[in-house]
């Protein structure tokens, strides 16, 4: 599989899904390691995996799609990578992403945009030039394309506001944002520490569960991981949904949602009801505030996280600062190293965190976050097992249309249905349901209480 995967990666080079591909020597070394160290029963033994470029993998660069880290070669493996490698997986390379995970289209990367594999024939493109294409979603767009192209068993993404589920939805693959704290963030370069979770992209629900079971678990290197004895989450084959209580939250329907998305949502609920599930309308009234709340909390944590990039310790360093001072070196390095989106968020975050603004914005946003969390608690208390919602508002937009919006507008529209699960730390999965009339994948989202991954996989498998 590794040889075939490498050949396929070369075949889809024009889609720009990978920012780094392992050399044949490195792949062989990993195969030898897998043969010696992993158990013969491991379902991952010798299978190719792709990893988003914001995770540390020894022997490969980790650029986060940014000039700031273009010369950063991490000396260690992220915990999730270590676990996959110990289970015999072979890391094929690093996948393209929006700079530091800030985006929804994989259009803002120093490596250039990634192209969705769906709908390409429409644009009559040769392998080298394109008239246009559909965005793969983001920020884990490279990982989603790698899975959609069928060249790996699964791929690792990250999810802070929807960055795993959004590209999974646009590329027609399964995308899981696990319960916060069940998968270690050690070695994942942070965006918003209180919301980041390593995500999983896979071709089907079973493969997603296999990866989750290997990746999950307490880690002494991440103090936010929980000690929770979660058994295997592999879905059973029985597939009965009798009596499962599924909530349909009307608050997830919003302006700009395409009619085929709404139709697909309603039809799927009808089918589930006909086949024995209990469908119930529910309300999560604070959902509509999650984007505004996120647009305060995200920059605050970004401002603090990005302070480490000073040009002294690692990554890019300006060679010609305007003045001969340490401050000028910092300023020039950061000006050259970060794109305009990242710089904008650092600025906004520092503004929200000013002594005079802290109560007004940051503390206020934390209170709204609590209300969003309580909305979820309330529906579980009513006996709802899982929520069924749209994932993205439309199918994958065309690149030329997408980039007409600035990054802030992109996020506010695209993350509407996905963001609140990050606020609450609950697990959520994007599942392809069918193709739209224009031949693009249409997906829905399942959300459950903390630690309910197994139930989510069961229902997802039923719908698959």
Q: Is 53 among the residues that bind ligand GLN (CB under 6 A)?
A: no
Residue 126 appears among annotated catalytic residues: no
Q: Is 103 among the residues that bind ligand GLN (CB under 6 A)?
A: yes
Q: Is 104 among the residues that bind ligand GLN (CB under 6 A)?
A: yes
Query: In the range 189-248, which residues lie near ligand GLN by CB under 6 A?
Result: 191
Among the listed residues 154, 178, 82, 126, the one whose alpha carbon sits nearest the alpha carbon of residue 429: 178
Work out whether the CA dihedral 164, 168, 173, 177 comes out positive or negative: positive
Whole-number minimum distance, CB 238 to ligand GLN, in Å? 34
Residue from 139, 169, 305, 430 that binds ligand GLN (CB under 6 A)? 139
Distance separating alpha carbons of residues 242 and 319, to the nearest angstrom:
66
Q: Is 411 among the residues that bind ligand GLN (CB under 6 A)?
A: yes
Residue 163 appears among annotated catalytic residues: yes
Residue number with CB closer to ligand GLN (101 or 235): 101
Q: Is 163 among the residues that bind ligand GLN (CB under 6 A)?
A: yes
Residue 177 appears among annotated catalytic residues: no
The binding track of 281-320 with respect to ligand GLN, each residue x by CB under 6 A or -, is -----------------x----------------------
**Cα distance between the two ends of the chain:** 25
Whole-number minimum distance, CB 263 to ligand GLN, in Å? 26
Residue number with CB closer to ligand GLN (16 or 163): 163
DSSP class of residue 14 equals G
Sheet holding 441-447, edge to edge: 18-21, 90-95, 48-52, 154-159, 197-202, 174-177, 428-435, 441-447, 386-390, 245-249, 278-282
Q: Is 108 among the residues that bind ligand GLN (CB under 6 A)?
A: no
Cβ atoms of residues 170 and 153 within 8 Å: no
Among the listed residues 95, 298, 88, the one whose alpha carbon sits nearest the alpha carbon of residue 196: 298
Q: Is 16 among the residues that bind ligand GLN (CB under 6 A)?
A: no
Instruction: Catalytic residue, from 5, 66, 140, 163: name it.
Output: 163
- Chain-centre distance of CA 329, in angstroms? 33
Q: Is 159 among the residues that bind ligand GLN (CB under 6 A)?
A: yes
Binding-site size for ligand GLN (CB under 6 A) equals 15
Q: Is 102 among the residues that bind ligand GLN (CB under 6 A)?
A: yes
Phi-psi region of 350 (alpha: psi -120 to 50; beta: other; left: phi over 0): alpha
* Residue nearest to ligand GLN according to CB distances in the complex: 163
SS3 421: helix
Instruction: Catalytic residue, from 66, 139, 158, 430: name it.
Output: 139
Whole-number minimum distance, CB 410 to ligand GLN, in Å? 7
With a CB cutoff of 8 Å and minimum separation 6, the contacts of 419 are 161, 162, 290, 291, 294
Phi-psi region of 137 (alpha: psi -120 to 50; beta: other; left: phi over 0): left
Q: Is 445 among the residues that bind ligand GLN (CB under 6 A)?
A: no
Residues marked as catalytic: 52, 139, 163
Where along the sequence are the contacts to ligand GLN (CB under 6 A)?
A: 101-104, 139, 158-163, 191, 298, 411, 415
């Amino acid at each position: 599989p590794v040889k075939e995967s490498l050949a396929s990666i070369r075949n889809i080079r024009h889609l720009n899904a990978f920012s780094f591909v392992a050399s044949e020597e490195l792949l062989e070394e990993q195969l030898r390691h897998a043969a010696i160290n992993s158990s013969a029963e491991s379902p991952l033994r010798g299978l190719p995996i792709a990893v988003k470029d914001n995770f540390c993998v020894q022997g490969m660069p980790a650029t986060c799609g940014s000039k700031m880290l273009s010369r950063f070669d991490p000396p260690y493996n992220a915990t999730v990578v270590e676990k996959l490698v110990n289970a015999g997986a072979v890391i094929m390379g690093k996948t393209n992403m929006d700079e530091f995970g800030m985006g929804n289209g994989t259009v803002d990367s120093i490596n250039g945009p990634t192209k969705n594999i769906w709908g390409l024939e429409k644009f009559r493109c040769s392998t080298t030039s394109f008239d246009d294409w559909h965005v793969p979603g983001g920020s884990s767009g490279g990982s989603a394309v790698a899975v959609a192209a069928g060249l790996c068993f699964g791929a690792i993404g990250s999810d802070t506001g929807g960055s795993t589920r959004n590209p999974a939805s646009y590329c027609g693959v399964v995308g899981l944002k696990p319960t916060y704290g069940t998968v270690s963030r050690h070695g994942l370069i942070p965006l918003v520490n209180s919301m980041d979770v390593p995500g999983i992209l896979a071709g089907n629900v079973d493969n997603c569960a296999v990866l989750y079971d290997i990746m999950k678990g307490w880690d002494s290197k991440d103090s936010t991981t929980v000690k929770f004895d979660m058994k295997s989450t592999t879905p059973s084959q029985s597939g009965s949904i009798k009596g499962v209580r599924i909530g349909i939250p009307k608050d997830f329907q919003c302006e700009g949602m395409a009619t085929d998305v709404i139709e697909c949502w309603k039809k799927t609920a009808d089918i589930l009801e006909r086949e024995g599930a209990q469908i119930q309308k529910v309300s999560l009234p604070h959902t509509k505030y999650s984007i505004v709340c996120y647009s305060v909390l995200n920059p605050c944590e970004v401002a603090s996280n990005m302070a480490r990039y000073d040009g002294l310790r690692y990554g890019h360093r300006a060679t010609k600062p305007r003045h001969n001072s340490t401050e000028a070196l910092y300023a020039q390095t950061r000006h050259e190293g970060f794109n305009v989106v990242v710089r904008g968020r650092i600025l906004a975050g520092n503004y929200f965190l000013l002594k005079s603004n802290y109560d007004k914005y940051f503390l206020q946003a934390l209170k709204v976050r609590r209300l969003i969390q309580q909305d979820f608690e309330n529906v579980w208390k009513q006996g709802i097992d899982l929520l069924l919602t749209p994932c993205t508002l439309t199918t994958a937009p065309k690149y030329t249309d997408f980039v007409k919006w600035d990054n802030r507008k992109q996020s506010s529209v695209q993350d509407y249905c996905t963001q609140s699960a990050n606020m609450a730390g609950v697990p959520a999965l994007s599942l392809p349901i069918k193709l739209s009339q224009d031949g693009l994948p249409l997906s829905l989202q399942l959300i459950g209480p903390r630690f309910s991954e197994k139930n989510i996989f069961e229902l997802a498998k039923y719908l698959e």
